[in-house]
């Protein structure tokens, strides 16, 4: 039968894209074909334009295979620097066995149009992998549209996804296309898809199955040609079990599942990532390259990084801010922890008056001989260092306070207190 033929072609002619035509509404067969490696599918009765578009995409993929290597390449290593495996379009850094396996999987996934569900801990690089899949695919010349599903207010999700017609609701002053239409011809990446409201999950499922959307206030459905990649750090099967996420939508999104490795499982990659990140930071600031002492490398290698690559980036951004002579030592490496929802940071806890009123400290008998007016006193030195760090990271992150707080490893409320303390607008 057709499925056996797909499997046979994939086994014996893996470079040949296979397109499948299925009976109307037979999504189960289409999903099975995609799992077996089919490039894409169309339902009967099919639109000729859609069929032509699918065939052109398949031919483009074959041309790419013939004319160039679109896979993950090994970046030339700088003198004294370990080699880094990285995609030509999107940096995928790492030489560990698990990352080499991930590189191969990404290349394979790029040859398909099947939905991919990317799961794993926060900070493991799920969006980066989604971008890499898109960049190596036949859709690479089309748009890549990422959307954080958890960041859209529930009452705005439908209009953000599908767009709306002028006059369809108060404030709809003109026709506006949504994220699905913006991604037409390319890839739509649904990050934190587990945060979608249940009511919206039904509409998303229909859009995926019908490959069409209806803008709010619209009379007709509009065909769309997109590939959907999705991700979450949550346990989606558990949410399905608890009836917090639709099972049918889960199976539509999870045609192919890709689990991201945490940084602690990527043996040897911490140093490679560290050197890459600090070089990027130096280039961004148009500054001299940073160097690392053996002590700094050992300290980084001995840490588990529960926040994964994102946490490593934050640690290094702080280290480059505070290091002397562009040399990062183990004393410049500081890790953040959280206890009882209170931020505790062994590097950013410069505010010696945290938790006290300034008046109480000034009236304390132990501070009678205070050297607060001495610019070289410990308190003043630490205050200056703290202010310098905050100003530097504010500048690097375009004054995005929530991002700055994350980089510093403190809460947004703590950041606002420190901004007020240092008279920073």
* Domain ranges for the chain: 2-67, 110-261, 264-421
Domain 2-67 identical in fold to domain 264-421: no
CA angle 347, 92, 31 (to 5 degrees): 120
110-261: CATH architecture:
3-Layer(aba) Sandwich (3.40)
The DSSP H or E segment spanning 259 is strand 256-259
Which of residues 390 and 30 earns the better pLDDT score? 390
**What's the CA gap between 272 and 85, in Å, rounded?**
10
For helices 412-421 and 401-408, the axis angle rounded to 10 degrees is 100
pTM (global) more than 0.85: no
The distance from CA 156 to its chain's CA centroid, rounded to whole angstroms, is 22
**What's the CA gap between 165 and 235, in Å, rounded?**
36
Q: Give the pLDDT score at 35.
A: 74
Q: Are 182 and 143 in contact (CB under 8 A)?
A: yes
pLDDT tens across 257-295, in order?
999 999 999 999 999 999 999 999 999 888 889 999 999
The DSSP H or E segment spanning 275 is helix 269-284
3-state SS, residue 44 = coil
In DSSP terms, 328 is beta-bridged to 292
CA angle 148, 150, 156 (to 5 degrees): 90
**What is the distance between the terminal CA atoms of the chain, rounded to a whole angstrom?**
69
In DSSP terms, 256 is beta-bridged to 116
The CATH number of domain 2-67, selected from 3.40.1110.10, 3.40.47.10, 3.40.50.2300, 3.40.710.10: 3.40.50.2300
pLDDT tens across 243-253, in order?
999 999 999 99
- CATH number 3.30.300.20 is the correct assignment for the domain at 264-421: no
pLDDT tens across 120-165, in order?
999 999 999 999 999 999 899 999 999 999 999 999 999 999 999 9
- Buried b / exposed e along 358-384 (16+ C-beta atoms within 10 A): eeeeeeeeeeeeeeeeeeeeebeeebe
Asked whether residue 23 carries a pLDDT value surpassing 60, the answer given is: yes
Distances from the Cα of 230 to the Cα of 192, 236, 282, angstroms: 8, 11, 33
């Amino acid at each position: 039968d057709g499925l056996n033929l797909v499997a046979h072609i994939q086994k014996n002619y893996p470079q040949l894209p296979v397109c499948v035509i299925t009976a109307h509404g037979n999504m189960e067969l289409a999903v099975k074909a995609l799992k077996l490696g089919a490039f894409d599918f169309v339902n009967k009765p099919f639109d000729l334009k859609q069929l032509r578009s699918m065939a052109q995409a398949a031919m483009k993929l074959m041309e790419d295979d013939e004319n160039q290597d679109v896979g993950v390449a090994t970046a030339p290593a700088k003198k004294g620097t370990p080699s880094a495996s990285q995609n030509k379009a999107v940096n995928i850094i790492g030489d560990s066995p698990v990352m080499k396996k991930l590189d191969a999987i990404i290349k394979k996934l790029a040859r398909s149009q099947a939905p991919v569900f990317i799961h794993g801990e926060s900070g493991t690089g799920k969006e980066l992998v989604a971008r890499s899949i898109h960049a190596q695919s036949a859709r690479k010349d089309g748009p890549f549209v990422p959307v954080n599903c958890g960041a859209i207010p529930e009452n705005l999700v439908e209009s953000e996804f599908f767009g709306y017609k002028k006059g369809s609701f108060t404030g709809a002053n003109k026709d506006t296309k949504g994220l699905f239409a913006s991604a037409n011809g390319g890839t739509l990446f649904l990050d934190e898809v587990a945060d979608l409201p249940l009511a919206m999950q039904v509409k998303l499922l229909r859009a995926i199955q019908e490959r069409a959307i209806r803008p709010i206030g619209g009379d007709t459905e509009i065909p769309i040609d997109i590939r959907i990649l999705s991700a979450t750090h949550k346990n989606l099967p558990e949410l399905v079990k608890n009836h917090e996420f639709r099972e049918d939508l889960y199976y539509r999104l999870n045609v192919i599942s890709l689990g991201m490795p945490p940084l602690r499982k990527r043996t040897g990659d911490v140093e490679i990532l560290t050197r890459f990140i600090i070089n990027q930071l130096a280039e961004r600031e148009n500054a001299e390259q940073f160097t690392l002492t053996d002590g700094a490398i050992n300290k980084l290698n001995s840490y588990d990084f529960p926040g994964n690559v994102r946490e490593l980036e934050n640690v290094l951004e702080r280290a480059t801010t505070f290091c002397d002579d562009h040399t990062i030592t183990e004393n410049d490496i500081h890790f953040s922890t959280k206890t009882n929802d209170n931020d505790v940071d062994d590097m950013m806890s410069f505010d010696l008056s945290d938790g006290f009123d300034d008046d109480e400290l000034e009236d304390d008998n132990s501070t009678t001989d205070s050297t607060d007016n001495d610019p070289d006193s410990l308190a003043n030195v630490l205050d200056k260092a703290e202010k310098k760090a905050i100003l530097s990271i504010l500048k690097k992150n375009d004054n995005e306070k929530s991002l700055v707080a994350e980089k510093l490893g403190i809460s947004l409320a703590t950041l606002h207190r420190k901004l007020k303390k240092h008279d920073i607008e």
